[in-house]
Chain A
Amino acid sequence: DIQMTQSPSSVSASVGDRVTITCRASQGISSWLAWYQQKPGQAPKLLIYAASSLQSGVPSRFSGSGSGTDFTLTISSLQPEDFATYYCQQANSFPLTFGGGTKVEIK
């Protein structure tokens, strides 16, 4: 199975900050990677797919990059509604696997 490792597990940031979250796959997954945002008590929301494609309706301050084993989610200017937990997910092969999550908290 492909293991997905996210870092950091949590980050404290202020509104307006640039935030970067990384996700590393235990083996190459090409660009078959998604990022999700989850707020407390809510279902996850797809932000990025195919490593760098922005899902319809998602603000352009979110961007994704990477291929192979190393991936990045960047929030260019953190907004109040962005405080949440973020997960990466590989879609290269079954079983699909998620990273452990990164909680973005208010500094």
Chain B
Amino acid sequence: EVQLLESGGGLVQPGGSLRLSCAASGFTFSSYAMTWVRQAPGKGLEWVSGIGGSGSGTYYADSVKGRFTISRDNSKNTLHLQMNSLRAEDTAVYYCAKVYSRWYSDYWGQGTLVTVSS
């Protein structure tokens, strides 16, 4: 059974940093691209970042480019999102998702809440 478990969310001040992690199990992690998607309170889905299975290709939304860094540790079946220079508008539930075929997300974690506030 595929399982994705996000961690690392919490309350952070504007300008601060946070590192999210996503522990994956139930599939061959290194064979699949992964992605982060966020959802601000009461709002729709926003794609944040994606990474290829080998980690060679990384992709970002314009809103986070230069501030967020996606990475993966295939030896530990873990996906990360390093978030720097956080802003109030980064407040959201952050989901990690496994990519099926062409950047479609077939399995999702339950999300971790990031709140950026002073």
Which residues from chain A contact B35 at a C-beta distance below 8 Å?
96
Task: Give the contact-size bracket for chain B.
Answer: 20 to 34
Which residues of B approach A to under 8 Å, CB–CB? 35, 37, 44-47, 50, 59-62, 95, 100-106, 108-111
Question: Which residue of chain A has its CB nearest to the CB of B103?
Answer: A91
Known interface pairs A46-B100, A87-B45; A1-B50 also in contact (CB < 8 Å): no
Q: Is B104's CB under 8 angstroms from A44's CB?
A: no
Known interface pairs A36-B45, A94-B50, A98-B45; A50-B102 also in contact (CB < 8 Å): yes
Known interface pairs A87-B44, A89-B47, A94-B50; A43-B104 also in contact (CB < 8 Å): no
Main secondary structure of the interface of A (DSSP, over half): loop
Question: Which residue of chain A has its CB nearest to the CB of B57?
Answer: A94
Task: Give the contact-size bracket for chain A.
Answer: 20 to 34
Tell yes or no: A100 within 8 A of B by CB. Answer: yes
Partner among A49, A87, A94, A95 whose Cβ is within 8 Å of the Cβ of B101: A49
Q: What's the minimum C-beta distance from A12 to chain B, rounded to whole angstroms?
A: 19
Tell yes or no: A78 within 8 A of B by CB. Answer: no
Tell yes or no: A65 within 8 A of B by CB. Answer: no
